[in-house]
Amino acid sequence: MTQYAYFEGRIRPIEAAKVSVMTHAFNYGTGWFGGLRGYWNAEQEQLYVFRILDHYRRFLDSGKILMASLDLSAEDLVEITLELLRREGYREDCYIRPIGYKADPVIGVRLHNLRDQVTIFSTPFGRYIENEEGAEVCVSSWRRVDDTALPPRGKLVGSYVNSALIKSEAVLNGFAEAIVLNQNGHVAEGSAENFFLVRNGVLITPPVYANVLEGITRRSIIELAQRELGVTVVEREIDRSEIYVADEAFFCGTGVQVVAVASVDHRPIGSGRIGPITQRLRDLYFRVVRGQEPAYAHWLTPVYADRPATHAEATARLVAAVV
Ligand code: PMP
């Protein structure tokens, strides 16, 4: 249960973290946000936040697009988040949501001459898409917002209306998720996740200039595929029909993690089951985020400062206490 939030400069009980209906961002969508995950490693009794500094760097970049002026650095935001998570005392997986927003209670659509605030809260979190091993998806009838109108490079609050249109249409039509095309008619991404396909052993994903979010999971998957699996990765445009003839396809993102796509528009992708490259990447990703791959420990920030007790030590302590 969420107990605290960072709000107006300090960590407070969640009930005290409230904004006025007059808040600029509530009226006009003039906010930006992030989404991070903390992974509980029961064996090590440690909570690991995945690529926390990279997430806050992107968070500040999103703020730049909205002319934000903040007196918090990415490092400050990391410290605040770790303190918040320690207060919550999670011993389970969680999701962390920082939001920057134009905080003034004024009428008037603009970005300049407005006070910026940051709030951060977290919540226990499991799966975002129920069937991670084989999601049935469609191509959306909506198009992705374009850099010429509402830059998808930033995680801007207002642009998630586009994501909500895409997601609800898909789910109400019986699909788990949708792939959305950009204004040029090429594949962009999912409603809130990046997209990959596999053809002839090559991993293919739209480039960052295809009107996608510069996903941190995307970047991580590219690195893992190249370094650990020796798979070639190509960033290039993808046509809708190319998805239908792909051998494998998957979504990735902080929320969805790695979700295999079983079918698109009622056409099975490959065998219609999770493909071998997707399976290997997914297994590796989960080992990495949970702190089971020492070579990628630099992507993880432990929340609990002391060296975490191992399961054996914790059990020994428990036994000693009982005896
Ligand atoms: N695209 C969109 C539109 C998203 O909202 C997200 C989730 N932040 C992603 C991609 C995946 O990005 P990341 O891996 O950084 O979470």
Domain spans in the chain, listed from the N-terminal domain onward: 4-126, 135-294
Q: Identify the H or E element spanning 87.
A: helix 74-88
Q: Which of 226, 313, 309, 285 is nearest to 44 (CA)?
A: 309
Q: Are strands 177-181 and 135-143 parallel, antiparallel or unpaired?
A: parallel
Task: Determine the pLDDT at residue 1.
Answer: 84
Contacts of residue 208, Cβ cutoff 8 Å, sequence gap at least 6: 153, 214, 235
Task: Determine the pLDDT at residue 319.
Answer: 52
Q: Identify the H or E element spanning 78.
A: helix 74-88
3-state secondary structure at position 218 = helix
Fold classification of 135-294 (topology level): D-amino Acid Aminotransferase; Chain A, domain 2 (3.20.10)
pLDDT digits (tens, 9 = 90+) for 252-279: 999 999 999 999 999 999 999 999 999 9
- The CATH architecture of the domain made up of 4-126 is 2-Layer Sandwich (3.30)
Task: Determine the pLDDT at residue 308.
Answer: 45
Dihedral sign from CA coordinates of 187, 146, 96, 59: positive
- Ligand 1 pocket by C-beta < 6 Å: which residues? 35, 155, 163, 189, 192-194, 213, 215-218, 253-255
Can you tell me which residue has the tokens 């586009």?
A: 162
Strand partners, 139: 179
Mean pLDDT of the chain: 95
Task: Determine the pLDDT at residue 160.
Answer: 98
Angle at 63 between CA 86 and CA 122, to 5 degrees: 25
Task: Determine the pLDDT at residue 306.
Answer: 66
Q: How far is the CA of 253 from the centre of ligand 1 (A)?
A: 5
Query: Measured between alpha carbons, how far is 280 from 169 in angstroms, rounded to an integer?
Result: 31
Q: Is the pLDDT of residue 12 over 60?
A: yes
Higher per-residue confidence, 130 vs 310: 130
Can you tell me which residue has the tokens 């799966």?
A: 127
The number of helices, as runs of H, and strands, as runs of E, in the chain is 8, 17
pTM here is 0.94
Neighbours of 213 (CB within 10 A): 23
Can you tell me which residue has the tokens 């959306």?
A: 140
Task: Determine the pLDDT at residue 47.
Answer: 98
Q: How far is the CA of 220 from the centre of ligand 1 (A)?
A: 12
Q: Indicate left, alpha or beta for 257 from its phi (over 0: left) and psi (-120 to 50: alpha).
A: left
Can you tell me which residue has the tokens 């590796």?
A: 284
Q: How far is the CA of 4 from the centre of ligand 1 (A)?
A: 25
Q: Is the pLDDT of residue 15 over 50?
A: yes
Contact of 194 with 217, CB cutoff 8 Å? yes
Query: Measured between alpha carbons, how far is 170 from 192 in angstroms, rounded to an integer?
Result: 13
Confidence band for 30, pLDDT divided at 50, 70 and 90: very high
Angle at 47 between CA 45 and CA 53, to 5 degrees: 150
pLDDT digits (tens, 9 = 90+) for 188-209: 999 999 999 999 999 999 999 9
Q: Which residue has its alpha carbon closest to ligand 1 atom 11?
A: 253
pLDDT digits (tens, 9 = 90+) for 44-90: 999 999 999 999 999 999 999 999 999 999 999 999 999 999 999 99
Query: Measured between alpha carbons, how far is 1 from 119 in angstroms, rounded to an integer?
Result: 18
Q: Which of 18, 31, 33 is nearest to 254 (CA)?
A: 33
Query: Measured between alpha carbons, how far is 58 from 220 in angstroms, rounded to an integer?
Result: 14
Mutate to test the pocket of ligand 1, among 59, 155, 194, 288 (most ligand atoms within 8 A of CB): 194
pLDDT digits (tens, 9 = 90+) for 139-177: 999 999 999 999 999 999 999 999 999 999 999 999 999
Q: Is the pLDDT of residue 314 over 60?
A: no
Q: Which residue has its alpha carbon closest to ligand 1 atom 1?
A: 193
Determine whether 289 is exposed, middle or buried from the number of CB atoms within 10 Å of its CB (0-12, 13-18, 19+): buried
pLDDT digits (tens, 9 = 90+) for 69-79: 999 999 999 99
Confidence band for 323, pLDDT divided at 50, 70 and 90: very low
Contact of 55 with 81, CB cutoff 8 Å? no
Neighbours of 92 (CB within 10 A): 12
